[in-house]
Amino acid sequence: MASLINEAFKKAKNASRPALLTYTVAGDNTKKQSLKILKSISAHADICELGFPHNTPIADGGQIQSSAYRAIKNGIKINDVFAIAKEFKLSKKTIPIILMGYYNMIYQYNEDKFLKKCKNSKIDGLIVVDLPYPENKSFSKKCKKQGINFIQLVSPTTSSIRLKRIIKDSHDMIYYISMLSTTGGKLKVSARKILENYFKIKNQNKSKNVVIGFGITEKTIKSLKKADGLVVGSAICKELSKSIKYRQNAVTNVTNVVRRLKNKIK
């Protein structure tokens, strides 16, 4: 498949490193600022995840919650999220964008309308936190029809039968949740154990790109280098919160974090 997501992984693989995936919340803390951040960090990130903020995020920890509340407070709407992505894609054509969020917002927007808008804004993939397999079957099919990657999540609690089925139903990328935690938790499992689980997934179908997320920071990223890709979210949101608090330049600070993350896995 010639998806941009696949290309991004291939590029990283050719450089013998995992792909770096960043997560930021659209509209955090303003529409303009989040676009600036996105553009700036994409110099170092291979794939950018963009969260559409929800005010009842049941799987997110404190950092991403704060980012989401900030964005909502500043009036971000779903259409703004699409606008940010579209604008980003005008100048960064080859960097894949993955939207990530909760199903209620897609449901209210209407699935078909949402996907049309995704396509129109050149969104490459979607992660829907609270739409697990097999409930996501029909939606994931719709995504595929539109050429949008639906990204399945897998966790340490996923049984082996389930894992097989999920992999079979997955598109180009699978997201492995490193541990039992909300986003931004402290990594409470050893890197060895995480990678052991990771390879259980990877070895089932080597053509799938498997990324690891949750609990990845500047401190821990190096230990998980063997993965196809690594996602950092809360650590980035945290830096943004800090920059706002101390009235520092968020674009510079956040970009520096992403650059350092990248250097650790080169």
Partner 1 sequence: MRLKKDVPLIDQHDQFGFWGGKFGGSFIPETLKKPVEDLTEEFKKLRKDKKFIKKRDYYFKNYIGSPTSFVKLENLSSHLGGAQIWAKVVSEANGGAHKIYNATVHALLCKAMGKKYIVGDTGAGYAGKMLSMAAKKFGLKCKIFMGAKDIKRQKPNCEAMKKNGAEIVPVYTGSQTLVDAVSECMRYWVSNCDNTHMCVGSTVGPNIFVKICGWSTAQISRELKAQLKSEFKKIPKKIKLINCVGGGSSAYGFWSEFIDFNKKQIELIGVEAGGPKKSKLHAAPLSRNAKIGILHGAASYVCQDNEGQINETESISAGLDYPGVSPIHCFLKDTKRARYTYATDEEALNAHVMVTKFENLNPSLEPSHAFAEAIKIAPKLSKDTIIIVNSCGDAQKDRDILRERLGKI
Q: Which stretch binds partner 1 (CB under 8 A): 64-72, 190-198, 232-240, 245-253?
A: 64-72
Nearer to partner 1, 189 or 253 (CB): 189
Nearest distance in Å: CB 153, partner 1 = 4
Q: Report if residue 67 touches partner 1, rule: CB under 8 A.
A: no
* C-alpha separations of 30 from 35, 67, 127 in Å: 9, 10, 22
Contacts of 96 (CB under 8 A, 6+ apart): 3, 4, 5, 7, 8, 46, 47, 48, 124, 125
Of 9 and 102, CB closest to partner 1:
102
- 3-class state of residue 144 by DSSP: helix
Residue that has been written with the tokens 């993965």 in this structure: 227
Instruction: For residues 110 and 95, give the distance between their C-alpha atoms in angstroms, rounded to a whole number.
Output: 27
Query: Active site residue: 49, 172, 228, 239, which one?
Result: 49
Q: Report if residue 184 touches partner 1, rule: CB under 8 A.
A: no
Q: Which whole-number Å values give the CA distances from 14 to 11, 17, 59, 80, in the listed order?
A: 5, 8, 34, 35
- Distance, CA of 95 to CA of 22 (rounded, Å): 12
Environment class of 88 (CB within 10 Å of its CB; exposed 0-12, middle 13-18, buried 19+) = buried
Of the residues 44, 142, 146, 185, which one makes contact with partner 1 according to CB under 8 A: 185
The answer for residues whose C-beta is within 8 angstroms of residue 60's C-beta and 6 or more apart is 68, 129, 182, 183, 184
- Total chain residues near partner 1 (CB under 8 A): 39
Q: Which is nearer to partner 1, 132 or 244 (CB)?
A: 132
**Looking at 23, 82, 102, 139, which residue binds partner 1 (CB under 8 A)?**
102
Cis peptide before 29 (omega within 30 of 0): yes
Phi, psi of 93 (to 5 degrees): -65, -30
Closer Cβ to partner 1, 244 or 264, answer by number: 244
User: Toward partner 1, which CB reaches closer, 18 or 57?
Assistant: 57
Site for partner 1 contains 117 (CB under 8 A): no
Among the listed ranges 174-182, 189-197, 202-210, 235-243, the one in contact with partner 1 (CB under 8 A) is: 174-182
Determine which residue in the list 157, 160, 203, 207 makes contact with partner 1, applying CB under 8 A.
157
**Which residues contact partner 1 by CB under 8 A?**
54-61, 65, 69, 72, 77-78, 102-105, 107-109, 129-133, 135, 153-159, 162, 177, 180-182, 185
Catalytic residues: 49, 60
